[in-house]
Chains A and B, each alone.
Chain A
Amino acid sequence: MSPGQPSLPQGLSLLRRARGDTALALCWVSAAIVIVPLALIVWHLLARGLPAFDATFFTHMPKPVGEPGGGMANAIVGTLIVVGIGALIAVPVGVGAGVWLAEYGKGQFAAIVRYTADVLAGVPSIVVGVAAYGLVVVPMQRFSAIAGGVALAILMLPTIVRATEEVVLLVPRSYREAALALGAPRWRAIQEVVIPAAAAGIVTAVVLAIARAAGETAPLLFTALNNRFWSTALDQPMASLPVFIYDYARAPYEDWNRQAWTGALTLLIVVTLLSGILRLTIRRAPGGR
């Protein structure tokens, strides 16, 4: 064998190369395949949802069975109210708990809280719905917007807690030290220096959590239930966009099915908009990736 020659027989080397190239090509192919479902979903949402995507859909009430037309105004307002209740509960608690974990969370109890937040994040949303049903609906003896809000709050909580902790930890130590050196007590240093410094990141986490909750259906099925009429009473069943989409999609009326697609398109636009806002704030957040 002369020094210039490859030590392997040419044939084997070819085989190796071919196998390797095939494997890499397959990686390209799978990346291409992964794009397909999203493209298809967006395409079908536009094709089927756009025809009914007009002012009527957003401003009119649902028509009675059999009458075509109408919109989902009550469901859109209902979603805003239920998600609002959820945020009202989850944001102060979640941010507070997150700040506590970052600033004071050293002992065993903090480890337990961290662990339960992780566990909560993995609980299927339908199980959260069942729990909210038992905790709120059964004692109140009726389905209500409040019950729906509680269910969504539980779903938002873990995201807010863990993300808040993470961004607060990223605030430089020197900020705290400077505040303390200027004579501020610890609570003021946290409240007036650390939290504002982390605000952009916290807002990001909150928006992410709200966006996710706005699209949830399963936890609302047996908490807020549904309502075909205009209602802003918090202790009464309340319509929501996802549940409306679910009901309309299963109904045997073509007009309803069409509106379900429009509802789905609306939901997707809201989620995309919120994540768009998110991407903007991420750039300003300390430690945003």
Chain B
Amino acid sequence: MDGAYRGVLGSFALFVFVVAALIVFECARGAAPALQKYGFDFFTSTDWDPVAEKFGALPYLFGTLVSSGIALLLAVPLGLGTAVFLAELAPRRVGQIVAFVVELLASIPSIVYGIWGFFVLAPVLRTTLEPWLGSTLGFLPLFQGYPFGIGMLNAGIVLAVMILPTIVSLTRELLLATPRSLLEASLALGSTRAEAIGVVLDAARPGILGAVILALGRALGETMAVTMVIGNTNRISASLFAPGATMSSVIANELTEATSTLHQASLIEIALVLFALTLIVNAIGRLLVVWATGGRRDVAGAA
């Protein structure tokens, strides 16, 4: 009986492994025709023409990297500030409220962010923020062009909100896990409160980098919110106001409508690349967090 029980549970554990293997296998098998036909050109070509059966994923790679980059640029300073606030500064009640808000942000479904970005944020960007950026910073190519409201900037902002919880909660845990003696020693040596917190931040730096990388992993794969606010055109534009597309958004938009084998294979190859990309990014992030905390379960588990 013992052996049977153990066997049943063990087979469930095996199942978990099989599922992961099946995902890799399925993506690789589905992508094979595109892999064979285009090889490395797939990543350097900007043509995406299902009728002519020409497929190049560069615009989508670009869109994914740029939108995630904007998200990090916005979310990292805000997230670190909030984490320091929560770990070191906040009065108990205020801290609880902010922590609760951050928790809620993490639980909001992607589609809800999308609908908000589409109906609320986009008009604000179109009528206010983008024209203003254009008139003050318009000498930079980044802020030139027609303010669509829908586009890279919108996607970046929505993604920033979505990855904030990852950065805030992990960084907060890391700061709390740093030995108090660092803070006390620094204060005893006559540093101001801010300088002492700076010392703590320095000590937690590798872990914080890991948290940021994990947040990046989340941004790279995010689909629905981005699909709704990025505009979905396969152009590469220097302007942040311009619409674009990401790897995940093109899959969401086209997979059900892809009739030719090559079109479908190309989309699945994008999924495969996205999988590989997030796998690597998440592995690096998790390693850094685990290493920085010496494998402490609660923090490492949250990663």
Contacts and interface: CB of A to CB of B under 8 A. Distances in A.
B101 A35 contact: yes
Interface in A4-52: 16-17, 19-21, 23-24, 26-31, 33-35, 37-38, 40-41, 44-45, 48
A264 B29 CA distance: 36
A166 B77 CA distance: 32
A225 B102 CA distance: 32
Given A30-B81, A134-B27, A44 B120 contact: yes
A77 interface: no
Contact of B220 (A27, A124, A222, A272): A124
Contacts of A217: 109-111, 223-224
Interface stretch (A56-64, A68-76, A80-88, A100-108): A100-108
Nearest to A211: B107
Nearest to A219: B223
A211 B104 CA distance: 12
Interface in B257-303: 267-268, 271, 274-275, 278-279, 282-283, 286, 297-298, 301
Interface residues of A, number: 91
A116 B21 CA distance: 9
Contacts of A191: 5
Contacts of A284: none
A272 B107 CA distance: 8
What's the dominant secondary structure at chain A's contact region?
helix
B23 A127 contact: yes
Nearest to B20: A116
Contact of B114 (A125, A190, A246): A246
Contacts of A34: 78-79, 82, 98, 101-102, 105, 164, 168
Interface of A: 16-17, 19-21, 23-24, 26-31, 33-35, 37-38, 40-41, 44-45, 48, 92-94, 96-97, 99-101, 103-105, 109-110, 112-113, 116-120, 122-128, 130-131, 133-135, 154, 157-158, 161-162, 166, 185-187, 190-191, 211-212, 214-218, 221-222, 225, 242, 245-246, 249-250, 257, 260-261, 264, 267-268, 271-272, 275, 289
10 contacts: A16-B192, A34-B98, A118-B282, A122-B217, A122-B221, A122-B278, A215-B108, A218-B248, A242-B109, A268-B112
Given A185-B1, A221-B256, A242-B111, 13 more contacts: A23-B197, A27-B89, A30-B81, A34-B102, A34-B164, A35-B98, A40-B120, A48-B119, A104-B6, A123-B23, A124-B223, A130-B268, A267-B111
